[in-house]
Amino acid sequence: MKAVNFTPRFWVALGLVLFTLLLGLVGPLVVHTDPNAVVGGLYDAPSAQQWLGTDNEGQSVLANLVYGTRTSLIVGLLAGTIATTIGLVIGLVAGFQGGWLDDALMGMTNVALAIPSIVVVILLSIALPSRGSFTLALVIGVTGWPWTARAVRAQATSVRTREHIDVARLSGARWGSILAWDVLPYLLSYVVMAFVLQVAGAILTEAALSMLGLGPSGSVSLGVMLYWALAWGSIRTGAWWAFMPPTLMLTLIAFSLLLLQSSLDEVFNPRLRRGRAARRKKVVGVTEPAVGAPVPIPIESGEDSDVEVGRGVETSSGTHTRGGNG
Amino acid sequence: MNDMSDHDLASPEDSAARTWGSSWETSRRRFLSISGLALGGAAIGLGAAGCGTAKTGNDNKGGQAQGRAGAAGETLFVAGFQWGPPTNFNPVGPSPAWPAGGGQSQLIYETLVRFNMVDGSLQPGLGTELKENDGGKSFTVALQEGTKWSDGKDLTADDVVFTFEIAKDASLSYSNVWEYLETVSATDPRTVEFKVKTKPFNPLPVKNAIAGTYIIPKHIWEEFATAKTLAKQANTKPVGSGPFLLDKYDQTQVVLKRDDNYWGKSVFGTPAMKSVVHPIFKSNSDGDLKLESGEIDASQQFTAQIWKMWEDKKKPVGTWLKEKPYYLPGNIPLLQINQTVKGLDNPKVRQAIAYAIDTPNIASTAMSDYSEPANASLILPTGYESKFYDEAGVKDKGWTFDKNKAVEILEKELKAKKGSDGIYKLPDGTRLGPWTLITPTGWTDWNTACEIVAKSCQAVGIDVKTEFPQAPNVTSKMQNGDFQLACWSASGVSPASPWSRFRDLLDDRGAAPVGKTTFYNFTRFKHPDVPKLLDDAGAATTDDERKTIYQKLDAIYRQTIPVVPLMYRPLEFYEFNESNWTGFPTEANPYAPPMWQGAGITWLFKIKKVGT
């Protein structure tokens, strides 16, 4: 892995992501205030005791922010894992197997893609008898997989024709083992990026749902905080501390994850590299990465795979718009 | 475009991918950088969005002394009654649009007499006064001089008799008056007599109906009464007797224009405004912003922290009271507890819940300080009901927010054991929860109150969670008993209160069991002594007599606790912005009550254009 040069962008992105993770996971341990405890009145301004003031129920905004960040991250990670797993399995099987199974799976995926997933998410969350953060993550996860499946399938199709697959077949490897050991590793870089995007998308979808009043009941999330801030006219009364912190936090999470994804893109795909890292390569005269490194596969496979990388990024951005606009 | 045609021969999937890929590749980073901005903007934008196309008066900055210019200056803009496109103006139908609905301003339709919630009196309307004969065995109302419909025909005692008679056969909103009303008759063309039934004898609901029923013209509605289509009429060109006529309406507004041939000019005077406009908003926040800016003159919306409008922003905004609680209490939103749910059927459990609820916090946050913490009584402690209020009883036998006391009841009196999940279990194994607390979505003050109730209960070890379905859903769940806990109110202050409130909450006679629709006693409460006491209260002739009976009922209530008062709420919210119209009544200038319905119409005739 020495060949991989992490760009400064990557380190900045990683730092931001780690910061939000730390805030969400360690924050609740540091901030001792119970997010449900009444510590003041309706929209008390920030003070020495309450750094971010109180919300419409007289609860600490700071405590709600760290607990809300945690809920949002948990929902995001869980939904991202579910969506990526479903998409990966369907895409791998369809792309590698081909034939009628491919047609069937992709037909299903295309149908799923055609239905606006925010509508499905809203209907599902209304229909469910209870809305915990886990059910919410499940709902977001099972509606977010189609574009991952499509992209993974495209990549798997190109890997299928490689010689080493034939070698594996000749040596008697089973179907499952070929998928897991000979196909999947070539897609891992892409899957990691897709996962990051899924997480960011899921967090924004959760916020969108919560702002519609369909958030997790019984727990606080960033979207729930925004929902109450809007419902209680915090903008009219000038209680900026009620809506700014969750807005900034959501922006930070989404921004850092997207930044991480795009810098990972540069790490995995040298063609996209800019700045010093790219210039140095030119000076040294390295034209293309050497054969054998599994990571920069998309480059080696030429024209075709370039399109596929493009598509992956494109569709993922599409998912984002969904979350962001909600 | 070129790119796409190049690849027309490739598989459709591939060509789509290519065009999308190339168009996004270049703008991806730009997208990343603006996505953050867009999100922040979305949060702020949402608050201001939704103003829609509803027409309001133009904000006239710096022109406070003159008010609005032009036609908008001659218009009174009101808000808070109409939340969807108007479909009908049928005053006897199930959901009429403003102002034909019950409990709204008497702009088109009028009542015989008008209730004043401040002193409990009945002010003249179409009738001069309500005369009580023989201790309430009958009432007579004489019509004012020259009462006329807006189409020029005379409004006579026949119209009044007709209005009440049609409710006998058809099921209209005021039909239940016939449980207590024997006959309505015209003793002469301008006098109506209401005879009260002797069994059950109760003049209160009759009085209530006389003060609350819009009189409708017989010559127009008679044919619908015979065809039995009264409730189905859209009535888009309403003929009423009030000072305004329906001018036009669409999904953004309802516009009324002044009727210069109003019969009551000699009695009530002429309103200063030429028209009254009700813009239709989507949510509280739209109307609140416009009230603050002076584009709405008077509003009936829940507006959080309204004092900031005059204290911080120096706007000419006001409410009835200059200080907390700003409004007069007129209703009690209650935690309604379904008596048929296991665990909640135990009065001691309900008592523990009553102690657990953080009512001071509900008053200060959910009600934005517009309420005192609610007391353990179904009688309002202020206004005209205060003469029945039992201060000593509430103090000795009532409850106040006390977590330790709630835990003590659970552990000592109920011998409940706390499970590993922090939730108590009764000795018979009944777990206290999970119970769902419902109230309609978007009713922000009630939603927040529910959140506080749920958290208060969780804090002592009772498992309660909230759910906010659409309003019609909640209504049908309440009526069918398909709920565990709910935030819902009973009848507000009226000529029949607090009798009507006790009856709504405690009377099991005529109330359907769970699974069938009932219009009162949603909790399916039963107590052997209540029906007799209710009848006695209705038949009582003096306030002292009533007071004793009401206090007995209140004492039974405090032992059985089918509902827990959460806060006090005004009968209607009443707030105004004086940048165009001035002279709204306040506590300092109490010439009219802070109401829209009933006697509230008085202020409409008295407010004046700024600078005149």
Is the CB of residue A240 less than 8 Å away from at least one CB of chain B? no
Do A310 and B24 make contact, defined as CB atoms within 8 angstroms?
yes
Is the CB of residue A307 less than 8 Å away from at least one CB of chain B? yes
Cβ–Cβ under 8 Å, residues A312 and A187: no
| 3-class SS of residue B436 | strand
Do B444 and A231 make contact, defined as CB atoms within 8 angstroms?
yes
Do A238 and B454 make contact, defined as CB atoms within 8 angstroms?
no
Q: Is the pLDDT of residue A314 over 70?
A: no
Do B459 and A41 make contact, defined as CB atoms within 8 angstroms?
no
B455 neighbourhood in chain A, CB within 8 Å: 36
Which chain B residue is nearest to residue A197, measuring alpha carbons? B32
Q: To probe the interface with B, which of A232, A255, A306 has the most B CB atoms within 10 Å?
A: A232
Task: Answer with the residue of higher pLDDT: B102 or B455.
Answer: B455
| Dihedral sign (CA B152, B154, B158, B161) | positive
Which chain B residue is nearest to residue A257, measuring alpha carbons? B32
Mean pLDDT lowest for which of A243-247, A289-293, B321-325, B390-394? A289-293
Do A231 and B28 make contact, defined as CB atoms within 8 angstroms?
no
How many Å lie between the alpha carbon of A85 and the closest alpha carbon of chain B?
A: 23
A236 neighbourhood in chain B, CB within 8 Å: 47, 285, 288-289, 292
Do B285 and A243 make contact, defined as CB atoms within 8 angstroms?
no
Cβ–Cβ under 8 Å, residues B56 and B287: no
Is the CB of residue A171 less than 8 Å away from at least one CB of chain B? no
Residue B195 CA to residue B540 CA, distance in Å, equals 17
Nearest CB among B24, B284, B285 relative to A317 is that of: B24
How many Å lie between the alpha carbon of B225 and the closest alpha carbon of chain A?
A: 42
Do B365 and A41 make contact, defined as CB atoms within 8 angstroms?
yes
A310 neighbourhood in chain B, CB within 8 Å: 17-18, 20-22, 24-25
How many Å lie between the alpha carbon of A62 and the closest alpha carbon of chain B?
A: 18
Give the angle subtended at the CA of A151 by the CAs of A147 and A156, to the nearest 5°.
145
Read off the pLDDT of residues A276-290 as tens digits, 9 standing for 90 and up: 555 555 555 444 444
pTM assigned to the model: 0.77
Is the CB of residue A159 less than 8 Å away from at least one CB of chain B? no
| Dihedral sign (CA B198, B199, B203, B207) | negative
How many Å lie between the alpha carbon of A310 and the closest alpha carbon of chain B?
A: 5
Nearest CB among A307, A311, A324 relative to B39 is that of: A324
Question: Average per-residue pLDDT in chain B?
Answer: 85
pLDDT band at B11 (very low <50, low <70, confident <90, very high): very low
Question: How many other C-beta atoms lie within 10 A of the C-beta of residue A23?
Answer: 20
Residue in B54, B108, B111, B123 with CA at minimum distance from that of residue B82: B54
Question: Average per-residue pLDDT in chain A?
Answer: 81
How many Å lie between the alpha carbon of B401 and the closest alpha carbon of chain A?
A: 13
Q: How many CA atoms lie within 13 A of B32 on its CB side?
A: 21
Give whole-number Cα distances, B591 to A193, B293, B345, B401, B583, in Å. Answer: 70, 26, 48, 38, 10
Task: Answer with the residue of higher pLDDT: B110 or B101.
Answer: B110
Do A238 and B468 make contact, defined as CB atoms within 8 angstroms?
no
CB-neighbour burial class of residue A129 (10 A; exposed 0-12, middle 13-18, buried 19+): exposed
Buried b (16+ CB within 10 A) or exposed e, B131-147: eeeeebebbebbbbeeb
How many Å lie between the alpha carbon of A1 and the closest alpha carbon of chain B?
A: 27
Q: To probe the interface with B, which of A12, A67, A227, A237 has the most B CB atoms within 10 Å?
A: A237
Give the model's pLDDT for residue B47: 39
Cβ–Cβ under 8 Å, residues A144 and A319: yes
Q: To probe the interface with B, which of A314, A315, A322, A325 has the most B CB atoms within 10 Å?
A: A314
Give the model's pLDDT for residue A305: 38
Is the CB of residue A231 less than 8 Å away from at least one CB of chain B? yes
How many Å lie between the alpha carbon of B53 and the closest alpha carbon of chain A?
A: 20
Q: To probe the interface with A, which of B15, B28, B465 has the most A CB atoms within 10 Å?
A: B28
Do B48 and A237 make contact, defined as CB atoms within 8 angstroms?
no
Nearest CB among B305, B451, B465 relative to A57 is that of: B451
Q: Is the pLDDT of residue B296 over 90?
A: yes
Task: Answer with the residue of higher pLDDT: B572 or B51.
Answer: B572
Cβ–Cβ under 8 Å, residues B548 and B309: no
Cβ–Cβ under 8 Å, residues A208 and A222: no
Give the model's pLDDT for residue B127: 94
Cβ–Cβ under 8 Å, residues A56 and A232: yes
Average pLDDT of the segment spanning B389-409: 93
Is the CB of residue A45 less than 8 Å away from at least one CB of chain B? no
Read off the pLDDT of residues A142-198 as tens digits, 9 standing for 90 and up: 998 999 999 999 999 988 888 888 898 888 888 889 888 888 888 888 899 999 999
Nearest CB among B40, B361, B466 relative to A58 is that of: B361
How many Å lie between the alpha carbon of B24 and the closest alpha carbon of chain A?
A: 6
Do A320 and B292 make contact, defined as CB atoms within 8 angstroms?
no
| Dihedral sign (CA A119, A121, A126, A128) | positive
Is the CB of residue A233 less than 8 Å away from at least one CB of chain B? yes
Give the model's pLDDT for residue B44: 41
Do B42 and A313 make contact, defined as CB atoms within 8 angstroms?
no
Which residues, numbered 187 to 226 in chain A, qualify as contacts with chain B under a Cβ-Cβ cut-off of 8 Å?
Answer: 204, 211, 213, 217-218, 226
Read off the pLDDT of residues B234-262 as tens digits, 9 standing for 90 and up: 899 999 999 999 999 998 999 999 999 99
Is the CB of residue A58 less than 8 Å away from at least one CB of chain B? yes
Task: Answer with the residue of higher pLDDT: B498 or B58.
Answer: B498
Is the CB of residue A322 less than 8 Å away from at least one CB of chain B? no
Read off the pLDDT of residues B480-525 as tens digits, 9 standing for 90 and up: 899 999 999 888 888 888 999 999 899 888 777 888 877 789 999 9
How many Å lie between the alpha carbon of B50 and the closest alpha carbon of chain A?
A: 12
B401 neighbourhood in chain A, CB within 8 Å: none
Do B21 and A247 make contact, defined as CB atoms within 8 angstroms?
no
